[in-house]
């Protein structure tokens, strides 16, 4: 309990410092985003090393495997965050505030998911079969969606968000950093509050695959929570740092599908082992190697494919311009 309290207080202090430094709404520069991204990654590495020094090697390996998996899955979430920002026409200088509060809401909701997941696993070991099957299904769905190459869809508000809007009402424009204002004597939400809730509640959908995935790497609720916390708290800066690069990661869905499918198989093997069936189990070093390897390969192939696509588009544009010039 002492370790949990100390960790939560430490994370709260880091969040408070982050909020205090960026309390004034402003456009986030690449330099600022890069600096804070490096800071959060360094803090995660220090925490993982601390687990190895003061805990045990296995705990440290589980944390790094979980952190990298959650971080890679959260990058995919940024696509949806971009859609949400566009849907609500969030002013650029307010986007950092939206992401900070939205991510905090997401962290609280994930903590609830993690507590529930830990309780279920402690009582019913067969739940690993369900988690494993669900991850394999999610991996297949990701591949199917990537191969469909469908045009980007607009963000649609979930039922919870719509019910909150109907209950309180929403102002017709932004009012700085205010979350509530009074209109004709009635207290209503500002669009800023709505988009914060959209970011936080939408992340719950992503938690449906990310939480089972990390439980496939470790069953320690403490490591599950801290890996999620460090992955989410650096997400705001990552949004501004690689926002323009997201479209270039064309193979990210394939990489994530491989990772989720791999962890799904790992969970099924673990469930069989718990049931007394003699099957090989996948160790944490192997898991960490597979996850890192897949992400590196996916990034390299994505950048190569994006570069070739850009060259083709440039060549087609030049050819069309030359043809129009001749016709003129």
27-45 pLDDT, tens per residue?
Answer: 777 788 788 888 889 999 9
Query: What is d(CA 237, CA 262) in angstroms, rounded to the nearest whole number?
Result: 29
Closest CA to 40 of 226, 312, 247: 226
Please list the residues that pair with 186 across neighbouring strands. 183
Cα(28)–Cα(239) distance, integer angstroms: 10
* Residue-wise pLDDT tens digits, 297-320: 988 998 888 888 878 878 877 777
pLDDT band at 234 (very low <50, low <70, confident <90, very high): confident
Convert the pLDDT of each residue in 122-145 to its tens digit: 777 778 888 888 888 888 887 887
Reduced to 3 states (helix: H, G, I; strand: E, B; else coil), residue 17 is helix
Structure tokens at 229: 């916390």
Say if residues 239 and 143 touch (Cβ distance below 8 Å): no
Report which DSSP code applies to 29.
P
How far apart CA 79 and CA 247 sit, in angstroms, is 9
For residue 66, is pLDDT > 70? yes
Residue of 262, 281, 251 whose CA lies nearest to 139: 262
Average pLDDT over residues 6-16: 86
């Amino acid at each position: 309990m002492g370790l949990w309290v100390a960790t939560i207080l430490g994370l709260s202090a880091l969040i408070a410092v982050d909020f205090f430094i960026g309390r004034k709404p402003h456009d986030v520069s690449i330099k600022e985003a890069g600096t804070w991204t490096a800071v959060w990654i360094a803090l995660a590495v220090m925490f993982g090393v601390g687990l190895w020094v003061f805990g045990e090697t296995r705990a440290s390996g589980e944390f790094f495997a979980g952190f990298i998996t959650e971080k890679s899955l959260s990058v995919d979430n940024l696509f949806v965050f971009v859609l949400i920002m566009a849907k609500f026409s969030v002013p650029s200088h307010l986007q950092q505030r939206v992401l900070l509060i939205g991510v905090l809401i997401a962290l609280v909701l994930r903590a609830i998911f993690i507590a529930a997941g830990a309780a279920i696993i402690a009582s019913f070991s067969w739940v690993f079969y369900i988690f494993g099957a669900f991850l394999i299904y999610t991996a297949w769905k990701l591949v199917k969606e990537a191969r469909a190459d469908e045009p980007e869809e607009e963000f649609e508000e979930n039922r919870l968000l719509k019910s909150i809007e109907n209950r309180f009402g929403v102002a017709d424009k932004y009012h700085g950093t205010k979350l509530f204002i009074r209109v004709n004597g009635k207290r209503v939400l500002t669009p800023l509050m709505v988009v914060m809730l959209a970011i936080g509640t939408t992340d719950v959908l992503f938690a449906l695959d990310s939480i089972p995935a990390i439980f496939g790497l470790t069953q320690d609720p403490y490591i599950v929570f801290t890996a999620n916390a460090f992955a989410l708290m650096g997400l705001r800066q990552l949004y501004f740092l690689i926002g323009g690069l997201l479209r270039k990661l064309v193979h990210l869905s394939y990489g994530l599908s491989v990772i989720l499918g791999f962890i799904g198989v790992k969970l099924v093997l673990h469930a069989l082992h718990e049931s007394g069936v003699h099957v090989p189990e996948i160790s944490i070093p192997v898991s960490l190697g597979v996850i890192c390897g897949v992400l590196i390969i996916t990034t390299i192939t994505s950048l190569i494919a994006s570069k070739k696509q850009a060259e083709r588009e440039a060549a087609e544009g030049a050819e069309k311009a030359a043809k129009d010039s001749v016709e003129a």
